[in-house]
A and B are shown apart, each in its own frame.
Chain A
């Protein structure tokens, strides 16, 4: 907000003197914690003003003296309008005498956006700015956000010029308190914007119209007793207007003010508060009445006879106090709609709306009302906290928050995806959709990219990291480097309140953007975050973060970035510290199972179609799947279609990944255990079947003797956990939310306690890169001998010139057991060809993918951007 003040140098001087104007403005806004305090520029002539406003578009408001050396305020406003400039012009008269000459100057047909009187208090500036702002925004904000409105009916410029600043000061002070309850800057700004708006009306007709338009949003009315109706001053106008309001909304508070004390009785008769205009304590009284009637202060619990029993300053304490106050007080406030009004004044519109239609008579007794009230508030607060990424502050004790940002900067791709999922779950109610299942993003703190920048800068690592090609050397240097102090403190504070194992993952700026899947390029580390005797968890965590930072500069990452349109310098790392979903079993910590699911299946087996999606799950931590190990693949649409009999023996999981809790090693990685360990832990039964050789039969569960196999039959067939249903609904919602195909990583823990809740935690969500050109391709007849290869299944098409090389994996000689070796060799060829910048054709067996969990090549460095055309040969097994 930039304000242009047009007045004689003298007037400007007077204003400056009186209140150190810009300081004052700055102060008012600084309290709001806004990043952009208004600036004030002073010019002395209309011409200058016009010139400046039209040249410099930053001005949002012109405040002008009534008469300038070259034109009047009215003329200036007209000129501004005529020039097509959308800048409001308000008039500020220096003394009542100037006003007298100006009667009706901003009435009908006037170009001015308001007329005010200087009375020695610089806060009038704030009043003017806010008043003009409100006039412009009220229609939009009430409609869009449900912002509340205070109707001020007053025809006397002097009167409203004196109390508008008071009302605004009151409003701002109030918003200030409410804003502090916001969990982050954007929520704070939202709350700021949602503060009640003031509509100034100067005639009965204006008031009537305004009330008709905004009646659903009226928080309160402050009205003169006598003001013009039908063009003449009417002593009954105030009372009549009050009655109109009362007849429709008996609970809207009304304040009538008058210079005649005898009007107090009149005010009483319409159930309004009364203020005496001439009173030396008018402004103080106004303040008091607003606090009390408009819900601007604490919520004061009273008994029906008015006795105060308790106070609540904010939502949290409201829920707390509501637990203990006498039932009759709850009943009293409930029946008077006090809760909802107080909430509306605090911009908590959703909650207010939820509570407002409920009458005390809807409840069997006061206790039911009390319970409902507390539940609503708690649930609302939880949602509020969950729906946003809160800035972490070590002191904050609010436990309802579970997604923080530590340090400033971006969250990075992966964390952004998680934040999005979190919000989507809340908005769609999916988080509570499945009874007995806690579905959500596990507690997460994201170390923002600014910390990464600071780390590199403070340790002067940037140039070194970009140039060095030795992975170990980079990591060693990074591990020695100092971690930014403030961030380290935040991490320590976060760990303090998160006493569970954590995953430390990269979340780089470029990662998981729709076009560039970086899966598997950066590392993930796991921390027991326990056992202070073994190692300091804070030091361990910081070391893991440093390692993730280092992985941004690993030769692998560098090579990968080279094949993308990005530059290494653009890459910045945020780091996710996320609660590991799982339970502790002896010295092992792991989830019941982990998985990946995609909304699109590239290789559906009938009757499934691509849109049915596909999922892969494995007992224990998800590394098995991410690295293409043995797992169970299924279609969420056909979860019962699983391998049976001997087929199940092929490619079923032989062991699982878990985090060793007693390990003092600094590898920060999961370890591999045999299935026997899971059976001993009691976690195998939920996902296993038994193959009996003697009967050549696969029996679900562990009841029989035989070979234990991870088939997921108890989950998928016996519905021990409604995995398929959950995935179907999630993928569907996410597809809508993202506007395209998605891939999610998740972990499910059925808990160590029999009837405890099951947890479904999101580990990652990313849009699925699925380049698909939509136009039909008409090839016509091509001679067989001109074709290099042909396929009935392609993922998009295009034209690439200048292909000279062909890299082919010999399908006849390909040995699946050696796919790792083959991948390494292809990787070598790939980097050579990439270096030359030559597009080439790559043809291999199975599916290409970033460490794909689908069969094929586990080579993260190869993407279709590198090779112009990637072919996948699928082996056709002859029927046995």
Chain B
């Protein structure tokens, strides 16, 4: 890290004491941006990074409410309005006891670049409260949400700041928050995303991340004149992301052969076809059974139980061309990465958040395969939030196919941004660098254009 970056980090730490999570986030971004700032003194000159690490606005407020026993409870509410250079602040609300200023600033800072990468006009923000909706009644959650919004409503708006859900804030909470906002403002606008389908929500939300990562993979293959058709794909997980990854893979002619859950995985050499996928969806979504049942149902498939004493995950040790880690973080270690390469895998697209360990990422980057970091490959989720905003502004709702098509175009746009940026900064084909830098550039340029604000 050069002197400029070191002094920036020192300044950040001094000005933001007791915020270790935030320090770390800045540190990571600074590291990946070093070559950019070296090549572009105009950013340094305009103190773009110094401005970026300072939130445009932090709202911290009291959220008093009365629980079912009649006791008064006091929680703390936050909204970090980090950066609005390219669009209204956008980012989730998190209700969890662990919520504090440091964590929210960390998340808001990352959100700025994530949103920017989607190519949609969305700034970055994050908010929430140390309130724990777990173990609370519906009424308590409602009273809390109403109190929370009774303050927050002054600071947000469809053109100002558009919060979404996050941990602890699902459809129920978004509903309560939206209701109170509408009542206070006396207007029905797209001030929150993640709304119910009947009142402003968008289609394709559960599908977005899975579909998106497949679209991204297709774009990567296209750079080599290839396509997903006929490719054997390893998919981990069996939740939303994995299910819709498989669905889109089938649509594009690929052959997914694995799925997993916390107790083990199945390998179906013949491929998981539409009927089998329908069985998995029924199994996982309605019956909430174990993926093992797949092997009981389809005798040609094999089931392997999780064995934590192993140093690797055998799911990644089958012959294939593509891998879609869609389960959880750190599911691919260095051994798995080498197994993948050894089996002929030339594409890894991360549907999950940080599924590959640092060492595994290094293995992929060194081998020069098509590796799409989660930051880029799973941006489909964030993108649909943007699409919900767009539909709300138009007072119009797209069909499934329309939203799906927009999603495809967005993923295509993200891919192009990554490829071009990677190339521009001398690491062609390095999607990690491309993703890290592309998000920054768009925001930085906008800030330059808008003057010192």
Contacts and interface: CB of A to CB of B under 8 A. Distances in A.
Interface stretch (A86-94, A109-117, A320-328, A641-649): A641-649
A640 B135 contact: no
A717 interface: yes
Given A815-B306, A815-B308, A693 B285 contact: yes
A14 interface: no
A265 to B, nearest CB: 78
A698 interface: yes
Contacts of B287: 654, 674-675
A695 B285 contact: no
Nearest to A708: B286
Interface stretch (B11-19, B118-126, B194-202, B223-231): B194-202
A654 B287 CA distance: 6
B197 A694 contact: yes
Task: Output the residue of B67, B97, B135, B308 with the most chain A CB within 10 A.
Answer: B135
A644 B289 contact: no
Contacts of A696: 165, 170-171, 194, 205
Contact of A879 (B69, B97, B195): B97
Nearest to A713: B138
B410 to A, nearest CB: 19
A605 interface: yes
A817 B287 CA distance: 17
B395 interface: no
B443 to A, nearest CB: 28
Contact of A646 (B138, B170, B197, B306): B170
A640 B306 contact: no
A879 B89 CA distance: 26
A880 interface: yes
A649 B139 contact: no
B158 to A, nearest CB: 20
Contacts of B167: 880
Contacts of B306: 815
Contact of A649 (B133, B135, B262, B288): B288
Given A693-B240, A694-B197, A605 B135 contact: yes
Given A607-B67, A644-B141, A654-B288, A697 B203 contact: no
B49 to A, nearest CB: 30
B136 to A, nearest CB: 6
A697 B285 contact: no
Task: Output the residue of A692, A695, A698 with the most chain B CB within 10 A.
Answer: A695
Contacts of A698: 171-172
A693 B240 CA distance: 9
B450 interface: no
Contact of B206 (A641, A642, A694): A694
B285 A644 contact: no
A652 B286 CA distance: 11
Contacts of A707: 285-286
Given A645-B171, A654-B287, A707-B285, A695 B68 contact: no
Interface of A is mostly: loop
| Size category, A interface | 20 to 34
Contact of B68 (A605, A638, A647, A674): A638
B271 interface: no
A40 B112 CA distance: 106
Contact of A652 (B96, B136, B288): B288
A813 interface: yes
A563 to B, nearest CB: 33
Contacts of A605: 135
Contacts of B159: none
B175 interface: yes
Given A644-B133, A646-B170, A697 B196 contact: yes
Given A654-B289, A696-B165, A641 B137 contact: yes
Contacts of A649: 288
A690 to B, nearest CB: 11
Contact of A641 (B136, B171, B289, B308): B136
Interface in A695-714: 695-698, 707-708
Contact of B175 (A646, A675, A697): A697
B427 interface: no
Contacts of B172: 644-645, 697-698
Given A607-B69, A638-B68, A654-B288, A693 B206 contact: yes
A606 interface: yes
Contacts of B299: none
Contacts of B175: 697
Given A694-B201, A696-B194, A640 B170 contact: no
Contacts of A644: 133, 138, 141, 170, 172
Contacts of A640: 68, 137-140
A698 B167 CA distance: 15
Interface in B192-221: 194-197, 201, 203, 205-206
A436 B197 CA distance: 39
A693 B69 CA distance: 32
A68 B69 CA distance: 83
A697 B170 contact: yes
Contacts of B134: 643, 647
B6 interface: no
B135 A606 contact: yes
B208 to A, nearest CB: 11
Nearest to B141: A644
A642 B136 CA distance: 7
Task: Output the residue of B194, B285, B288, B309 with the most chain A CB within 10 A.
Answer: B288
Contacts of B240: 693
Nearest to B288: A654
A705 to B, nearest CB: 10
Nearest to B204: A694
A675 B165 CA distance: 30
Interface in A603-623: 605-607
A434 B167 CA distance: 41
A482 to B, nearest CB: 45
Given A644-B138, A815-B306, A879 B286 contact: no
B201 to A, nearest CB: 6
A641 B134 CA distance: 8
Interface in A554-587: none
Interface in A835-880: 879-880
Task: Output the residue of A641, A647, A654 with the most chain B CB within 10 A.
Answer: A641
B186 interface: no
Contacts of A646: 170
A762 B197 CA distance: 44
Given A674-B287, A879-B97, A694 B205 contact: yes
A817 B263 contact: yes
Contacts of A652: 288
A654 B68 CA distance: 31
A880 B98 CA distance: 9
Given A707-B285, A817-B262, A694 B203 contact: yes
Contacts of B135: 605-606, 641
Interface string A200-228: 00000000000000000000000000000
A694 B194 CA distance: 9
Contacts of B288: 649, 652, 654
Given A644-B170, A815-B308, A717 B205 contact: no
Interface of B: 67-69, 96-98, 133-141, 165, 167, 170-172, 175, 194-197, 201, 203, 205-206, 240, 262-263, 285-289, 306, 308-309
13 contacts: A606-B135, A644-B138, A644-B172, A645-B171, A645-B172, A654-B287, A694-B201, A695-B171, A697-B171, A697-B175, A815-B263, A879-B96, A879-B98
Closest 4 CB pairs of A and B: A697-B171, A640-B137, A645-B170, A879-B98
Given A638-B68, A641-B137, A695-B201, 20 more contacts: A638-B137, A640-B68, A640-B138, A641-B136, A643-B134, A644-B138, A644-B172, A645-B170, A652-B288, A654-B289, A692-B171, A693-B240, A695-B195, A695-B196, A695-B197, A697-B196, A717-B138, A813-B308, A815-B263, A815-B306
